[in-house]
Amino acid sequence: MDGFGTDILNALILFANFVFVPALSYGSQLALGAVGVTLVYGVLRFANFAHGDVMAFGTMITIFVTWGLQSYGIGLGPLPTALLALPVAILGTIALVLFYDKTVFQFYRRNRSAPVIYLVASVGVMFITNGLVRLFIGPDDRRFADGERFIIKARAFKKMTGLSEGLSLQVTQVITVVVAIIAVAALFWFLNKTRTGKAMRAYSDNEDLALLSGINPDRVVMVTWILAGTLACIAGTLYGLDKSFKPFTYFHLLLPIFAAAIVGGIGQPVGAIIGGYVVAFSEVMATYAYKKFLKYLLPDDMAPSTLMQFLSTDYKFAISFIILVLVLLIRPTGIFRGRVY
């Protein structure tokens, strides 16, 4: 098989394999993280610096429970055991964030402190969480994905289609997307259909009006932390399954997550999800070398000699920052008009 049609197909498969699929799963992880940040922002009105480390804490519990289950020989067959451990980890993470709220943030809420005070307090919480995670599991890199690795292997795909480019699909990537869809659907059902969810949105929109309508602020705050903890734990576990777990990388995830929340309009859950994908796709697309891709599409004599890479992978996270700066310069409210001032 050859000819221009095949070339186009090959180029598309190449793009899907190295850009679309990885960006989709990374984007889902960022989206879940960013929704957590944005919910806390909407209700408690501060950027929670501890979110990345709370994600790491949740993932750590998942890993411990996974190890426990593995030692008893319990597993999910082709699926990673971590999925079975996830509910326990979610409960653990919720307990952690509620504990932090009671011991740290509640005091400043009662005192009606400025948002920046919460910010500094969240840095303290970040330290403590980071220290705890390293204390319990150590600073090393850990992989905890078990079960099957691939749904489609690149070689099998090539054989099946006869194309020279293969598309590989990892189990963790598919799980990430599926779990993210379920989590987001459940979240929006909760926010839009239940009484508590509506109360939360009302409180986020206008605190005073919500208080006048008899909404219990303590309850709203508690529910917000429960949701944020749940989402953080899921996002962290999915990221760890897909790549690997290292406490320090979770701190670095803060920047893309904040960028995603701001792009979407901070305080806006829908925006955060779109922002997550915007950041992930920009990051992967800007650091991908298009040489081979263009070779398929262009005539032979026009094939590029350089890598055709927009930015070296060393500057991956610079993308989040560039997006952030562009948004602040062009449209500080983000796509969905978040709260800025």
> What is the distance of C-alpha 286 from the center of its chain?
19
Please report where in the chains the tokens 């929006």 appear, as a residue: 188
The residue among 71 and 306 lying less far from other proteins, judged by its C-beta, is 306
Q: How far is the CB of 53 from other proteins (least distance, A)?
A: 10
At how many degrees (to 10) do helices 82-100 and 217-242 cross? 140
Interatomic CA distance for residues 254 and 251, integer angstroms: 6
- Give me the phi and psi of 183, to 5 degrees please: -60, -45
Q: How far is the CB of 127 from other proteins (least distance, A)?
A: 3
The residue among 64 and 188 lying less far from other proteins, judged by its C-beta, is 64
Q: How far is the CB of 162 from other proteins (least distance, A)?
A: 35
Q: How far is the CB of 119 from other proteins (least distance, A)?
A: 5
The residue among 65 and 126 lying less far from other proteins, judged by its C-beta, is 126
In whole angstroms, how far apart are CA 21 and each of 24, 180, 291, 317?
Answer: 5, 14, 19, 19
The residue among 80 and 269 lying less far from other proteins, judged by its C-beta, is 269
Interatomic CA distance for residues 129 and 63, integer angstroms: 16
Residues that bind other proteins (CB under 8 A): 41, 46-47, 49, 104, 107, 114-117, 119-121, 123-132, 134-135, 139, 251-252, 254-255, 258-259, 262, 266, 306, 310, 312, 314-315, 317-318, 320-321, 324-325, 328-329, 332, 339-341
Q: How far is the CB of 160 from other proteins (least distance, A)?
A: 37
Query: What radius of gyration do the chain's Cα atoms show?
Result: 22
Residues 6+ away with beta carbon under 8 Å from 32: 180, 183, 184, 231, 234, 235, 238, 276
Q: How far is the CB of 258 from other proteins (least distance, A)?
A: 5
The residue among 4 and 136 lying less far from other proteins, judged by its C-beta, is 136
- Which of 207, 209, 277, 293 lies closest to 8 in space, CA to CA? 293
Contact 43, 36 (CB under 8 A): no
